[in-house]
Amino acid sequence: MTNKKIYDLEERTAKFGEAIIEFAKKIPRNVVTLPLIGQLVRSGTSVGANYCEADDAESKRDFLHKIGICKKESRECGYWLRMIGKAVPELQEEASSYGKEVRELNLIFAAIRRKGGKTKS
């Protein structure tokens, strides 16, 4: 694995989405958790999907809009992780570890928006 891979945001967001899917499979299904699982999977996987769209944006304005969506979705994912931690206390520690990645991604997207443009040439 090269250093470029470590900083590849498309790969990082895809791996995050995959991890969220695997985490969601561990959550016991009941009347409380079913809606939370759906929301978590939707927001957690949409971070990477929206980053792919941003990477293929047709204009700088379109890019910044889609990066903004990535930021919103990552923040929303953090919310659902918190709710799952509350609903299933035995998974709270694992949910918190994914919450750390969500916060990092959110900061990255915020920095990209502040910078006002693409991170690649």
Q: What is the CATH number of the domain that holds 80?
A: 1.20.1440.60
Structure tokens at 75: 């923040």
Task: Provide the whole-model pTM.
Answer: 0.87
Per residue in 53-101, pLDDT tens? Answer: 999 999 999 999 999 999 999 999 999 999 999 999 999 999 999 999 9
Identify the pLDDT of residue 116. 82
In a domain, 120, yes or no: no
In a domain, 121, yes or no: no
47-69 in b/e form (b: 16+ CB < 10 A) is: bbbbbebbeeeeeeeebbebbbb
Identify the pLDDT of residue 120. 47
In a domain, 83, yes or no: yes
Identify the pLDDT of residue 117. 66
Domain, as residue range, for 53: 3-115
In a domain, 79, yes or no: yes
> 């900061």: which residue's tokens?
107
- Residue 5's pLDDT band, with cuts at 50, 70 and 90, is very low
Burial label, 82 (beta-carbon count in 10 A; 0-12, 13-18, 19+): middle
- Residue 2 confidence (pLDDT) above 60: no
- Residue 121 confidence (pLDDT) above 90: no
In a domain, 73, yes or no: yes
What would the mean pLDDT of 4-28 be, rounded to a whole number?
Answer: 90
Selected residue with higher pLDDT from 46 and 120: 46
What H or E segment, with its residue span, contains residue 78? helix 60-87
In a domain, 105, yes or no: yes
Structure tokens at 97: 């570890």
Number of domains in the chain: 1
Q: What is the DSSP letter of 29?
A: P
In a domain, 106, yes or no: yes
Identify the pLDDT of residue 7. 67
CA distance 76 to 62: 21
CA distance 50 to 55: 9
Question: Is residue 20 within 8 Å of 44, Cβ to Cβ?
Answer: yes
In a domain, 9, yes or no: yes
